[in-house]
Chains A and B, each alone.
Chain A
Amino acid sequence: MMRAWRVSGLLALACVLATACGSSAGSSSGSSAGSASTSATSGANVAAAQQLVKRAEAPQTSWKPAGQPFNATGLRGKSMWYVSINLSIPFEQYILQGMKQGAATVGAKVTGFDAKSSVTNLESGIDEAIQAKAGVIFVDGVPAKEVAPAIAQAKAAGIPVLTANAQGSGPLLPGTPPGVVGSATHPFAIPGVLMADWVVANSNGNANILFLSSEDVPVITALVKTGFVGETHRLCPGCKVTVIDSPTSQWDQLTTITPSLIRKYPDANYLVADFDGQVIFMVPGVTAAGAQNKVKIVSFNATPSVMQDIKNNNVVGADVGGPNLLQGWAFAEEGLRVLDGLPALNNLNIPTRLFDSSNINSINLSAEESQWYGVGDYQAAYTKLWGASSS
């Protein structure tokens, strides 16, 4: 989904942001979670990683929506605006589609606005939503402070604002402008943690990892990377992580860069990409370097083409993802709560699942992607929660 986050117009800003968030932007190599010379990872840690992987590989059958039931049927005719950073991104399209489906069950309406990767357009979208007397406005893809003046206008008009995919799950970040009442987001740190668990388990604690980090994607990259590096540190002090800057604008050059990296770091045995968008170019790069049996790729997003690579045993070892359409319903849940005057949840309990050779054949890649996660009839779960279902 995050090939996706090719928001090139915005990305100059993003670099600044990534730096502000403490990530190691800029140079092509950098941080290390440890060194090969440090003490070997204990068997207990590897066993712990294997347990965590096993849990993450399993269908998420115990998943439930995050919030308590409330009656949303009185919200008929109310409107939500989803001001998307870029609606040509499949991930964004899924979210909007899921939001529309969910809101429609209670008679509410969702309007999408495509900012085409421009912060200026994002502000225009907020203005349009204010003019249209939206009930709640989602501002997607950039930290709210980037569009603080427009949010202030929404506040003046009495319209609450929710940030979308602009921070991790949990309370609003310090410095979030007034007018923002909550956040709707994927729990971006979790995929990073799960990828680290898989690498530690799969390598038996002997991983030398190149982490390809899209530093020009603000916030999200920092969350994924922090989750990955932190978990690798925790479970495998002897594993080495080298962070490589891989800006979105140059993902397609990874066919050339990947073999160069494999030669430059001959001991590397795992290539971890923060987004699947890189993997399509990394796979031929690994093949060109003749390193198919030496290097495994691990990534985040569970997009169909990368899932197919796992199925074909084609260089990709594992991929972590979340159900995109379900996420749209979860965003609708957050919006409906705010429309109803309830506090925002800020943690939407969006499930994640890890896919590898052990479970890839148990799912139907042709089926709608939310079904890969084993969450059951999530739409019925939400409609029941909102009092929109007779069941």
Chain B
Amino acid sequence: MRARLPNFFLRYGILVVWLAIAIVFSILEPDTFFTFGNLQTIAGSQAVLVFVALALLPTLAAGEFDVSVASITGISLVLVGDLNVLNHWPIAWAIVLALAVGILAGATNGIFVVFAQVPSIIVTLGMGTLLLGVTLGINTQSTGGISPALVSATHTTFLGFPLAFYYGVILTVILWYIFSFTPLGRYIQFVGGGRSVARLSGIPVQPIRLGAFIAGGFLSALGGVILAGWLSASDPNVSSTYLLPAFAAAFLGSSVFEPGRFNAWGTFVAVYFLVTGVVGLELLGLASWINQVFYGASLIIAVAISRIASRSRLNA
């Protein structure tokens, strides 16, 4: 029993804390926080963050870092706006090109990391900066009037929640299935656990690492498409602020459900844990800088918990 209690808290502690802060905010702000409308806001407005955070999972699980995800989301967003609104492309083709650019960026990251053996943080930092510049080169201004079809595809509500929220749920289920029930998912975890051992076990380490970057690029670009629909506009300066919360969510997520492992449901819950905190603090009327304090502190605490969880798993 003594051993089970800490294990329970390691697995589900975030849910307890989430519930606790939700109760505290509901008591402090019963008319504004404890409302269905607020639940809708929390669910719908951060679907893009779910995508960007989940885009980190393949690379993090494979033992790599991809800090270009937010920039890929940004260029995807701007491409959709620029091609659809200013160049009058059909929205479907604009989306296809945006996703293709995401895949290309991810593949480029992967090639440099896997074959040129440049550390992933360096390659993706460079790629992120490069894409940020290209995004501004495409258009320095926000562009409104994105296809109503894409806007409806994100804003239309089903059972009270916008479709964008459900896309995040679907992606979470897909990644959860891949990581939990397919050989590919287990291979990625093996590669992340130790490349040499994985290689000796016959796992195709290099293709898996490359594939992880490509998947990350694709999912980041998909996040940009969702964002274009959600904003019904594009803006070249949006993306960078997704990076820190996405990493915070991914690391916080690795401390829950399967402590020490990056996992989809953990990341999903962590995104909404973070958003709950931020929305609650906003409703309390605290100064806006508190958001960054909250995100930053969450990242540090999340990584600490994740490390503790990993060690306790290894010692078990």
Contact = CB atoms under 8 A, between A and B. Distances in A.
Interface stretch (A171-179, A199-207, A250-258): A250-258
Contacts, number: 125
B183 interface: no
Contacts of A6: 237
A294 to B, nearest CB: 12
Interface stretch (A33-41, A221-229, A299-307, A374-382): A299-307
Contacts of A283: 231-233
B57 to A, nearest CB: 23
B155 interface: yes
Contact of B287 (A93, A245, A277, A288): A245
Contacts of B37: 259, 263, 289-290
B41 A252 contact: no
Interface in A238-258: 245-247, 249-250, 252-253, 255-257
B32 A305 contact: no
Contact of B279 (A26, A246, A260, A308): A260
A3 B143 CA distance: 12
A263 B29 CA distance: 10
B242 to A, nearest CB: 8
Given A260-B32, A260-B279, A312-B145, A88 B140 contact: yes
B180 interface: no
B46 interface: yes
B285 interface: yes
Contact of B291 (A90, A250, A281, A314): A250
A280 B287 contact: no
A328 to B, nearest CB: 16
A283 B282 CA distance: 18
Contacts of B31: 263
B230 interface: yes
Contacts of B145: 305, 308, 312
B66 interface: no
Interface in A267-320: 276-277, 280-281, 283-285, 287-290, 303-309, 312, 314
15 contacts: A26-B287, A28-B285, A28-B287, A247-B289, A253-B241, A259-B38, A259-B41, A260-B41, A264-B29, A284-B45, A289-B37, A304-B141, A305-B233, A305-B235, A314-B232
